[in-house]
Structure 1
Amino acid sequence: MTSAFLSALGGRIAERWLAALALPGLLFLAAAGAATVLGHAHWSDVERLRDRVDTLSASPASHSAGTVVLVALGVLAGAAVTGAAAQVLGSGVELLWCAQPHGPVLRSVADRRLRRWRAADARFRTALVAAGRARIEGSDDADRLTGIAERRHAERDRIASVPPRHPFAMGDRLAVPAQRLWRANGLDLTAAWPHLWLLAADGTRGELQAARLRFTASARLCAWGAGYLVMGLWWWPAALAGVVAVASGVRRGHAAADAFAELTEALADLHVRDLAAALGVEHEGVDGRALGERLTRLLRKESGTA
Structure 2
Amino acid sequence: MGGFLSELGKKLAERWLSLLVLPGALYLAVAATARALGHTHPFDLPRLTQQISAWANHPVTNTVGGQVVLLAAILVGAAAAGLVAQALGSLTERLCLAADWHTWPPPIRQLAARQTTRRRDRWTRAARTWHHHREQDAQALAHGQRTNPATRHAAERAMTRIAPEEPCRPTWSGDRLNAVAVRLERDHHLALATLWPHLWLVLPEETRTQITIARQNLTRATTLTAWALLYLPLTAWWWPAALITAALTLIGWARTRTATDTYALLLEATTRLHTSGLADRLGLNPTSPFTPETGDTLGLNATGPLTPEIGDTLTHHLTPTPPPPPPPPPTE
What TM-score does the superposition give when structure 1 sets the normalisation length?
0.90
What TM-score does the superposition give when structure 2 sets the normalisation length?
0.84
Kept in 2, the 8 Å contact 1:178–1:188? The answer is yes
Distance 1:121 1:227 in 2: 39
Distance 2:320 2:17 in 1: 46
Provide closer, same or farther for how the CA distance between residues 115 and 101 of structure 1 changes in structure 2, counting only shifts above 3 A. farther
1:37 maps to 2:36 = yes
Task: Report the 3-state secondary structure (helix = DSSP H, G, I; strand = E; otherwise coil) of the residue aligned with 1:232.
Answer: helix
**1:36-115 paired onto structure 2 within 5 Å:** 36-99=35-98, 100-102=100-102, 103-115=109-121
Structure 1 match to 2:124: 118
Kept in 1, the 8 Å contact 2:177–2:264? The answer is yes
Query: 1:137 Cα deviation (Å)?
Result: 8.1
1:223 maps to 2:222 = no
1:160 maps to 2:163 = yes
Provide closer, same or farther for how the CA distance between residues 282 and 302 of structure 1 changes in structure 2, counting only shifts above 3 A. farther
Point out the more displaced range, 209-218 or 61-70: 61-70
Distance 1:180 1:138 in 2: 32
User: Deviations 1:162-206 (Å, cap 9, x if unpaired)?
Assistant: 111111111111111211111111111211111211121000000
Structure 1 match to 2:316: 297
Query: 1:133 Cα deviation (Å)?
Result: 6.4
Task: Report the 3-state secondary structure (helix = DSSP H, G, I; strand = E; otherwise coil) of the residue aligned with 1:161.
Answer: coil
Provide closer, same or farther for how the CA distance between residues 126 and 270 of structure 1 changes in structure 2, counting only shifts above 3 A. closer
Distance 2:174 2:39 in 1: 38
Task: Report the 3-state secondary structure (helix = DSSP H, G, I; strand = E; otherwise coil) of the residue aligned with 1:163.
Answer: coil
Identity of aligned residues (%): 36
Structure 2 match to 1:27: 26
Point out the more displaced range, 79-88 or 106-115: 106-115
The count of aligned residue pairs is 299
Q: Unpaired segments of 5 or more residues in structure 1? A: none
Alignment-mate amino acid for residue 172 of structure 2: A
Query: 1:134 Cα deviation (Å)?
Result: 6.6
Query: 1:129 Cα deviation (Å)?
Result: 5.0
Query: 1:37 Cα deviation (Å)?
Result: 1.3
Alignment-mate amino acid for residue 204 of structure 2: A
Distance 1:138 1:268 in 2: 38
Query: 1:301 Cα deviation (Å)?
Result: 4.0
Kept in 2, the 8 Å contact 1:86–1:220? The answer is yes
User: Deviations 1:216-263 (Å, cap 9, x if unpaired)?
Assistant: 000100000121233223212222122121211121111111111111
Distance 2:243 2:284 in 1: 58
